[in-house]
Amino acid sequence: MSQSPHHITPLTHRTVASSTAVGAGRFAPSPSGDLHLGNLRTALLAWLFARSTGRRFLMRVEDLDRVRPGAREQQLADLRELGLDWDGDVVVQSDRRQHYQDAVARLESAGLTYECFCTRREILKAPSAPHAPHGAYPGICRNLTSEERGARRAGGRPPALRLRADVGSFAIDDLLHGSYSGMVDDLVLRRGDGTPAYNLAVVVDDAAQGVDQVVRGDDLLSSAPRQAYLAGLLGLTAPQYAHVPLALDQEGRRLAKRAGAVTLGDQKALGRTPRQVLGMLAASLRLTAPDEEADLAGLLDRFEPSRLPREPWVITLPTTPSQSP
Ligand code: GLU
């Protein structure tokens, strides 16, 4: 049955005349606290990248880990207040555990996993494997005999499940960083407490949602090779990546509450409108002049990935009323 135009999600902003762009971009915040200006800027960029290429834009809540009650609702409200829109329902990772289990089961049946009983301390104390890059899991549990495994199981500590990777590094292409080669080790797929690992969930979800463009902070650039490699093992196509610069405070630290008025709520408390905050983000991306009014349709018209600043955004912020002496 063909859909009437009435049922087609209206795209309120410019769509690029490309008949081949059918994929999606996304923003995938962890609901561990409020989004700060750096996160909002990344969300804006993810939206601009997706919408300027005619892609859908999807929202996913990555709540397998640290969750602060109410954070999810606040994050989505802040994004909406900036004017960002997304297609379809918000996907919530904690509703999707079965999909992660299925992916793990496929890797398990292909012989690509092993149980790992190591504590963090044991891993830190272990000598690194010869030629293994710094920070790689040193393979302590990779080749346990069945007796050794039995003895460790008897210890009662539930094992994590690791990937048996057969490469040490993998290369991806990034729209901003070019070709980037990074470490792949025997990464954790499922933690000892049963929680699916971020690297697994992100790969499963991006593919399931039809995401073919991942725009996120460049603190995750080094995770991309692992994720792309894992996608390949699962028979999935890795997305296109764009890892964007982070926001830093004046001391060069990652933005955090201590830097001052870092959230949309803080900015509003100082008398700025969401539109002015959008203007601040746009100016930081050199899409508008400082203090120029910004609107999303206009930003979309000006957006040109190759002209984006490549260096971190260093912000000076007034303190919030609650931080003032
Ligand atoms: N949930 C992650 C974060 O908030 C982002 C993951 C991703 O974009 O792949 O840092």
The burial of 55, by beta-carbon neighbours within 10 Å (0-12 exposed, 13-18 middle, 19 or more buried), is given as: buried
- Of all atoms in ligand 1, which is nearest to the CA of residue 219? 10
Question: Do 268 and 320 meet the contact criterion of CB atoms below 8 Å apart?
Answer: no
CA of 217 to the centre of ligand 1 (A): 8
- Which of 35, 206, 220 is the best mutation target for the ligand 1 pocket, counting ligand atoms within 8 Å of the beta carbon and taking the most? 220
Pocket-forming residues, ligand 1, beta carbon under 6 Å: 28-30, 62, 202, 216, 220
What is the pTM for the complete model shown?
A: 0.90
* pLDDT tens digits, 205-234: 999 999 999 999 999 999 999 999 999 999
pLDDT of 254 over the 60 cut: yes
Binding positions:
26-30, 62, 116, 118, 137, 141, 198, 216, 257
Supply the pLDDT for residue 70.
97
Nearest protein Cα to ligand 1, atom 7: 28
What ligand 1 atom has the least distance to the C-alpha of 216? 8
Residue 199 alpha carbon to ligand 1 centre in Å:
10
**Which atom of ligand 1 lies nearest, measured to the CA of 206?**
9
From the annotation, which residues make up the binding site for L-glutamate? 26-30, 62, 198, 216
Q: Contact 94/57 with Cβ under 8 angstroms?
A: no
Q: What percentage of residues in the chain have a pLDDT greater than 70?
A: 91
| 58-85 residue pLDDT tens | 999 999 998 999 999 999 999 999 999 9
* pLDDT over 50 (residue 9): no
Q: How far is the CA of 202 from the centre of ligand 1 (A)?
A: 8
pLDDT of residue 2: 38
Report the distance separating Cα 75 and Cα 91, nearest Å.
14
**189/323 Cα distance (integer angstroms):** 41
List residues bridging with 226 in a β-sheet.
Answer: none
| Candidate from 19-33, 86-100, 153-167 with smallest mean pLDDT | 19-33
> Exposure string (b/e) for 27-37, b if CB count within 10 Å is 16 or more?
bbbbbebbbbb
CA angle 312, 134, 179 (to 5 degrees): 50
pLDDT bin (cut points 50, 70, 90) of residue 1 is very low
Token pair recorded at residue 261: 């008025």
Which active-site residues does the annotation give? 257
32 Cα nearest atom in ligand 1:
4
Asked whether the beta carbons of 29 and 58 are under 8 A apart, the reply is no
Give the distance (Å) from ligand 1 centre to CA of residue 36: 14
Out of 105-114, 176-185, 269-278, 288-297, pick the least confident. Answer: 288-297
